[in-house]
Amino acid sequence: MSLAQRDQNVIWHPYTQMKTAALPIPIVRGEGAMLYSEDGTGYVDAVSSWWVNLHGHAHPYIARKVAEQLQTLEHVIFAGFTHAPAVELAERLLQILPQGQSRMFYSDNGSTAVEVALKMAIQYWNNLGTPKKKIIAFRDSYHGDTFGAMAVSARSAFTAPFWSYLFEVEFVDVPIPGKEEETVKQLEAYASGGDVAAFIYEPLVLGTAGMVMYTPEVLNKLMQLCQQHNILSIADEVMTGFGRTGRTFATDYLQYQPDMVCLSKGLTGGTMALGATSCNEKIYEAFLHEDKSKTLFHGHSYTANPVACAASLASLDLLLQSETQDNIRRICSQHTAFAERIKQMPYIREVRQQGTILAVEFEDSTTSYFSDLRDTLYSFALDQGVILRPLGNIIYVIAPYCITNKQLDQVYQTILGMQEVVSGNRAYPRPDLTMLHD
């Protein structure tokens, strides 16, 4: 029995309709930007395995640091205890995070990093005796799949069964080009009520919404409004952090800085799970009190896992090397040239780029996660030896920084082939249904 068939008997995969999904591709090895399946087929991982991998698969430096840590300390409870990897990681992150961040709270992943930030924001006002509870978020945002994170995310098919359980959130439109002033007015109207606790946002790029992009200038205006109305701001840098937007953090493009920053995904270089939420000193001080009820009662069994912290420290070493920074600039440049090449081609509605993130939106009857194009484009890319996981009719590229120009060209050629498929000039069948689940 193959690995994929064994999987079918025991596994429930994320974001997958198990009734109709094809058998999963069994991956047995990774190296650099490549993944290799059980039958020896190689795939360019153009999506960094869900946006997490920064430096390539099975990176020897990260592997060595993880192995060393495993032989020293694999884990210890983080309530009442500490360890060197957690302290050093916090020290180093606070040095490169936006100005004003002073404390680090560890968790397990991006969703929990957001949960921590939301609980910090709401309890901050409660501890001060000013229980402001309203949260503002972008209408098409995505911040995770736990309940607080779902509440501040778009009301969509993803969250529909749980709507009645989610707390109320005020949504403002994404300030895409041409809509900036409308969003500013919406935020100002909510802010003037005086009962807003926090504004949470994905800075510059909304990932799951389809890599929707907006400018630093309008985000500065929104941040300025938050400061004027004494509203806490939460930057969800889970996807945009660690170089994805061309700078270390998307917030580095801004004049006004957030009160809290949520991190995960690339934090460990894609090696293992870890989340982190930073905050400024005024938030931290609001929890310091003789009254123990003002404590932030939040934690995870694997909070600040030493092995994950060691992986993160190794990833930071690599990220800050000149070679990696040169690679980030190279990928940005290659994306820019390709975007210019294809943006006027027929059947391409829009091409968007922010740093190392490239998105191509194909013409379709609707722009939706459930676009009929999705499965066809996904299968076509796999046949070309490239992993591109479409958001409906939108293809995006977020590759490891070690990807070569030759591998990038393979990705670009695959996207060009998709353009021909969409136009009808190149016949391509729907995915083979013979291997679907019963």
DSSP string, 166-179: SPP-EEE----TT-
* Helix, strand, or coil (residue 31): strand
User: Could you tell me the CA-to-CA distances from 332 to 3, 14, 301, 367, 407 in Å, in that order?
Assistant: 37, 30, 39, 26, 14
User: Could you tell me the CA-to-CA distances from 65 to 179, 258, 317 in Å, in that order?
Assistant: 47, 32, 11
Q: What is the C-alpha to C-alpha distance for residues 122 and 132, in angstroms, rounded to an integer?
A: 7
DSSP code of 391? Answer: B
- Structure token pair of residue 152: 């501040």
User: Could you tell me the CA-to-CA distances from 4 to 25, 34, 294, 328 in Å, in that order?
Assistant: 7, 20, 50, 35
- Structure token pair of residue 128: 């001060």
DSSP string, 137-205: EETT----SSHHHHHTS--STTTGGGGGGSPP-EEE----TT-HHHHHHHHHHHHTTS-EEEEEE-SSE
Amino acid letter at 357?
I
Is residue 15 among the annotated active site residues?
yes
Q: Which of 43, 106, 124, 142 is catalytic?
A: 142
Q: What is the C-alpha to C-alpha distance for residues 242 and 320, in angstroms, rounded to an integer?
A: 10
Q: Which of 236, 259, 401, 412 is catalytic?
A: 236
Q: What is the C-alpha to C-alpha distance for residues 319 and 260, in angstroms, rounded to an integer?
A: 22
Read off φ and ψ for residue 209, nearest 5 degrees.
-65, -10
Amino acid letter at 84?
A
Q: Which of 265, 302, 378, 401 is catalytic?
A: 265
Is residue 236 among the annotated active site residues?
yes
Degrees, nearest 5: CA angle 101-398-145: 65
User: Could you tell me the CA-to-CA distances from 168 to 129, 155, 163, 317 in Å, in that order?
Assistant: 21, 11, 9, 41
Dihedral (Cα; 399, 405, 409, 415), 10-degree rounding: 20
Candidates 377, 364, 368; CA nearest to 429 is 377
Is-contact 123 232, C-beta < 8 A? no
Is residue 265 among the annotated active site residues?
yes
Q: Which residues are catalytic?
A: 15, 142, 236, 265
